[in-house]
Structure formats: structure tokens, C-alpha cells
């Protein structure tokens, strides 16, 4: 039987306890980090003369064999081993004998798990960002093709003012840029090694924590060991950052669902990324964006769950903390597949420019432009201009026309000071282009925004 030897516990544990206590079923996910951590640890121990060079070499060889066994699916995970840390140590003992027993000198599973899990999360921050950069690239590509594709901009889901489709996508590009920055900032903030803190209070051995941290690619070592073995802020941060990302994805998904309905008809998802109904043969369902919207719920749940696990824990390590991993793994996997499929779904979706344009002719999108015209050209106070425009909207509704379709005679009935130039002002494209302030929707301003994000992408995503 493979179990941690203990002075206090003489009897074999109950099978039910093994089942309840074990984390091996899920923490095997961090085997790579555990092996990387152990290799660095024995290198440090040997450099410090705490173990021999011979032991170091044998341990590293054994650990590399174990890594290969796991990668090749030939490794046996036993519930009795409790977790990935004991599993690897026990297998190492089987492989190389007594030298394996020197590996755990000057460390504890408490700093070991804090290290492994942290490294896994730091690597995941980077992995998610690589995927997000790909998404940004696709969004920018579609945006560039649609700088003059008019569609109704909305507030309260009601037609408001004309915008272009690139401008709409740029709003999401802005959100995803912030998401990328959040993952990056969190990665930088948490790039601190806890290893060497041992159980809670440091170690009497003459270790070199800086050296070990450097071998593992950390920027620095943690200051206080009691905190280092108890700290799961890095895990909370990735859970929060994924929650915000998924909230953005969910809003985008909701728009794609609306846009692909027959009421909107603004986009059509490709067959490859659509599903059918089991009973209604005419249907094409947007399951992809619906699932993206739905999966947002579970990542919020994972965040709340870990916050709750941690909230009342006394220092330092408590077994409650073993509950920190599954939610994080789940959120990371959910985010990964969500970003990937969103990228594919929008890359293959068709943009129905004509339907978007048609929709802009409903809802008097240039009404604000008429109010502005009355204010700037006819001497109205804005409130009075607003009121008169409201009356003209009522007239246009009665005549079955959009405001952009009224002729000069009709407009002059309401205000004789209105001149011919108003007709141009009320054209929807002109209305969009009039919003040329910084960050506005004019084609000119949209192109500047595209350029800004393109440059940012080139500068930051070196994998381009
Ligand atoms: N499986 C444990 C976890 O994930 C590892 C740390 C165990 N430490 C301990 N003192 N029991 O939290």
C-alpha cells in the first residue's frame, strides 16, 4: 500500500476516507508543474550541498521518466496516493529507490501545492491571452471590411442613432483588450514563488529560494511564508478575470442570437457552427452563442465558490483549500473552448449588410440630427428643437416615412427657416459621419480606432 507514513496514525485509513480525502482524480492536471517544481527543488538542494549531485541526477532522471509515462498514458493513478504530489513521489521511489526519499527535504506539500497550482494558473493566463489575441485578429479583420456598413445603434434595445458595424465590433475589441490586460496584470502581480516556505514557517535548512524561483521563471520570492502557503488570490483573480471575459462573451453572444433571428436578420451563422432542431426541419439554431451565454453561469459559480471556501479559514493551510482546484480547472477549460468557438463562429458568419441598412430606415435614426440642425442653423434652444423634432417624428409616422425620407416641403411646414441642406443632414450615412468626435462612429473616427487596435495587436502579440 502506498501512503504517507505517519507517527500518529497506525491503522490503515477507511476506504471511504480515501475516497473523500483524495484529490488525485483532478489534481493530476498539474503533474507537469509538480515535476518542474521538484526538478528545480532538487537542483537547489544539490547546489546547497543538502543532497548529493548523484541523488539529484537520479531524481531528475526518474521524474522525467514519470513525465513521459503520464504523457504516454502509461501511468497508474491510485486513489490511495491521495494527491498528485504523493503519487509522483511514490512512483519515484518505485523507480529509483531510496534517493527518491531525499526529494521532499526542506519543503512541504503546502508550499508544493501552492507552487504547482500557481504555476498552472500563471501558464493559463498566458494561454488564454494567446487565444484572445487570435479572436482580436478575427474581429479586426471583419471590422475592417465593414467600416461603411450602416446599422441601427441602439439604447434600451430601441433604434437610436446610425452607426457602422466596424464601430460596433470595436466595442467588443475594446472589452477583450481589457480582458487581455487583466490576465496579463494578474500574471505579473502573482509571479512570485512560494516554494521554500515549507509547511508554514520556513525551514532550518540553508536553502536558496531565489535560485529555485529563478529556475522556475519567477520574478521574485514571496516575503512571508505564512501568507504564501495560505494565499489563493492568484486563483481568485483568474476566476474573476474569466468571469468578466465570459460576461463580455455572453453579451456578444446575446447580440449574435438576436442578429441571427428573422426579426433582425443581420448575420447568418455558418452551417458548420449551427445546429438543427430534432422536430422542425426548417430551423437553424444558434446553439453556439446560446451555450456561450449559458456557460457564463458556471464560471460565476466557480468564483463565488472559492471566495466562500476561503472566507473563514484561519492561517495557514487547511484542507478546505483542496477545494480550490476543480472550479479553476473548469473555468479555464470553459474559457478556452469558449474563446476558440466564438472565434470560429464569427469568422465563418456572414454579415447581411442589406438587412442592416434596411433596419436603419426604421426608427427615425437621424432625429437627433434634425434637433441639432434646428439648434445650430435656426436659432432654437435645444429643448425647443427637441420638441419640434418630436412633432415632425409624429408627422413622419403618420405619413409612413422615415425622417430621412421627408422632403423639404414637408419639413418647412414645421419651420420655414429650414433650408435645403437639411436633406443631406438627415441622410443616415451623413448622420453617422457627423459623429466625428474622438471615439465617435464616423468612418473617419472608426478607422482611427481600427488603426489604434491594429498597432496595439502588432506590438503586444508577438506570435502574429
Ligand atoms: N492535495 C492537497 C491540496 O490540494 C495538497 C496539500 C496537502 N497538504 C496537507 N497538509 N495535507 O490542497
Q: Do strands 220-221 and 192-193 pair parallel, antiparallel, or not at all (unpaired)?
A: parallel
* Gap from CA of 111 to ligand 1 centroid (Å): 9
Measured from the Cα of 84, ligand 1's closest atom is 1
Question: Is there a contact between 251 and 168 (Cβ–Cβ < 8 Å)?
Answer: no
Q: Which residues line ligand 1 (CB under 6 A)?
A: 23, 27, 83, 109-110, 113, 317, 319, 321-322
* Gap from CA of 408 to ligand 1 centroid (Å): 78
Q: pLDDT for 407-424, tens place per residue? A: 999 999 999 999 999 999
- Of the candidates 220, 261, 276, 277, the residue annotated as catalytic is 277
DSSP 43: H
For atom 11 of ligand 1, which residue has the closest CA? 319
> Can you tell me the distance from the alpha carbon of 373 to that of 317, in angstroms, rounded to the nearest whole number?
68
* Gap from CA of 57 to ligand 1 centroid (Å): 27
- Contacts of 27 by beta carbon, 8 Å cutoff, 6+ apart: 83, 84, 113, 322, 325
For atom 7 of ligand 1, which residue has the closest CA? 109
Q: Which of 104, 109, 121 to mutate to test the pocket of ligand 1 (most atoms within 8 A of CB)?
A: 109
Measured from the Cα of 117, ligand 1's closest atom is 4
Q: Which of 84, 113, 114, 327 to mutate to test the pocket of ligand 1 (most atoms within 8 A of CB)?
A: 113
What is the percentage of the chain residues whose pLDDT exceeds 90?
Answer: 94
Is 168 considered catalytic here? no
DSSP 313: P
pLDDT at res. 1:
43
Q: Which of 17, 19, 88, 110 to mutate to test the pocket of ligand 1 (most atoms within 8 A of CB)?
A: 110
For atom 2 of ligand 1, which residue has the closest CA? 322
Is 156 considered catalytic here? yes
Low-confidence ranges of the chain (pLDDT < 50): 1
For atom 1 of ligand 1, which residue has the closest CA? 83
* Gap from CA of 113 to ligand 1 centroid (Å): 7
* Gap from CA of 335 to ligand 1 centroid (Å): 26
Q: Which of 85, 322, 323, 328 to mutate to test the pocket of ligand 1 (most atoms within 8 A of CB)?
A: 322
Measured from the Cα of 199, ligand 1's closest atom is 10
Measured from the Cα of 27, ligand 1's closest atom is 4
Cross-strand pairs, 193: 221
Question: Is there a contact between 62 and 95 (Cβ–Cβ < 8 Å)?
Answer: yes
* Gap from CA of 319 to ligand 1 centroid (Å): 6
Q: What pTM was computed for the model?
A: 0.95
Measured from the Cα of 82, ligand 1's closest atom is 1
Greatest C-alpha distance within the chain: 101
Distances in Å between the Cα of 269 and the Cα atoms of 242, 260, 266, 351 are 25, 7, 10, 9
Measured from the Cα of 317, ligand 1's closest atom is 10
> Can you tell me the distance from the alpha carbon of 371 to that of 382, in angstroms, rounded to the nearest whole number?
7
Percentage helix, strand, coil, to 5, in the chain? 65, 5, 30
Measured from the Cα of 23, ligand 1's closest atom is 1
* Gap from CA of 4 to ligand 1 centroid (Å): 12
> Can you tell me the distance from the alpha carbon of 371 to that of 274, in angstroms, rounded to the nearest whole number?
44
- Of the candidates 6, 124, 156, 278, the residue annotated as catalytic is 156
Q: How would you classify residue 82: left for phi > 0, otherwise alpha for psi between -120 and 50, otherwise beta?
A: left
* Gap from CA of 324 to ligand 1 centroid (Å): 11
Amino acid at each position: 500500500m502506498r501512503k504517507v507514513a505517519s507517527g500518529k496514525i497506525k491503522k490503515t485509513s477507511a476506504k471511504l476516507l480515501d475516497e473523500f480525502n483524495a484529490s488525485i482524480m483532478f489534481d493530476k492536471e498539474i503533474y507537469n508543474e509538480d515535476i518542474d517544481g521538484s526538478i528545480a527543488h532538487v537542483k537547489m538542494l544539490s547546489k546547497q550541498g543538502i543532497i548529493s549531485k548523484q541523488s539529484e541526477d537520479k531524481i531528475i532522471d526518474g521524474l522525467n521518466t514519470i513525465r513521459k509515462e503520464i504523457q504516454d498514458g502509461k501511468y497508474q493513478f491510485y486513489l490511495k496516493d491521495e494527491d498528485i504530489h504523493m503519487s509522483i513521489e511514490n512512483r519515484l521511489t518505485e523507480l529509483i529507490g531510496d534517493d527518491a526519499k531525499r526529494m521532499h527535504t526542506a519543503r512541504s506539500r503546502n508550499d508544493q501545492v501552492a507552487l504547482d497550482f500557481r504555476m498552472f494558473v500563471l501558464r493559463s493566463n498566458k494561454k488564454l491571452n494567446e487565444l484572445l489575441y487570435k479572436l482580436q485578429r478575427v474581429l479586426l479583420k471583419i471590422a475592417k471590411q465593414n467600416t461603411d456598413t450602416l446599422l441601427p445603434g441602439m439604447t434600451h434595445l430601441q433604434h437610436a442613432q446610425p452607426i457602422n458595424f466596424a464601430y460596433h465590433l470595436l466595442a467588443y475589441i475594446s472589452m477583450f483588450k481589457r480582458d487581455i490586460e487583466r490576465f496579463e496584470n494578474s500574471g505579473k502581480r502573482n509571479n512570485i514563488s512560494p516554494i521554500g516556505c515549507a509547511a508554514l514557517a520556513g525551514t532550518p535548512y540553508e536553502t536558496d529560494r531565489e535560485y529555485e524561483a529563478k529556475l522556475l521563471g519567477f520574478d521574485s520570492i514571496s516575503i512571508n511564508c505564512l501568507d504564501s502557503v495560505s494565499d489563493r488570490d492568484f486563483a481568485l483573480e483568474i476566476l474573476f478575470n474569466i468571469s468578466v471575459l465570459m460576461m463580455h462573451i455572453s453579451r456578444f453572444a446575446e447580440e449574435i442570437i438576436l442578429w441571427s433571428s428573422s426579426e433582425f436578420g443581420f448575420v447568418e451563422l455558418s452551417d458548420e457552427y449551427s445546429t438543427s432542431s430534432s422536430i422542425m426541419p426548417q430551423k437553424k439554431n444558434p446553439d453556439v452563442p446560446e451555450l456561450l451565454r449559458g456557460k457564463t453561469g458556471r464560471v460565476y459559480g466557480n468564483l463565488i465558490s472559492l471566495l466562500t471556501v476561503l472566507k473563514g479559514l484561519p492561517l495557514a493551510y487547511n484542507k478546505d483549500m483542496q477545494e480550490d482546484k476543480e472550479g479553476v480547472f473548469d473555468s479555464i477549460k470553459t474559457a478556452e473552448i469558449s474563446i476558440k468557438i466564438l472565434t470560429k463562429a464569427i469568422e465563418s458568419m456572414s454579415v447581411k449588410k442589406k438587412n442592416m441598412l434596411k433596419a436603419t430606415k426604421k426608427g427615425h435614426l437621424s432625429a437627433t440630427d434634425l434637433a441639432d440642425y434646428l439648434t445650430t442653423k435656426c436659432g432654437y434652444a435645444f429643448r425647443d428643437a427637441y420638441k419640434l423634432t418630436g412633432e415632425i417624428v409624429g408627422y413622419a409616422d403618420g405619413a409612413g416615412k422615415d425622417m430621412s425620407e421627408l422632403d423639404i416641403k414637408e419639413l418647412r411646414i414645421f419651420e420655414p427657416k429650414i433650408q435645403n441642406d437639411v436633406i443631406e443632414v438627415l441622410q443616415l450615412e451623413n448622420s453617422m459621419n457627423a459623429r466625428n468626435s474622438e471615439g465617435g462612429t464616423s468612418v473617419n473616427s472608426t478607422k482611427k480606432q481600427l488603426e489604434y487596435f491594429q498597432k496595439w495587436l502588432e506590438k503586444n502579440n508577438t506570435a502574429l
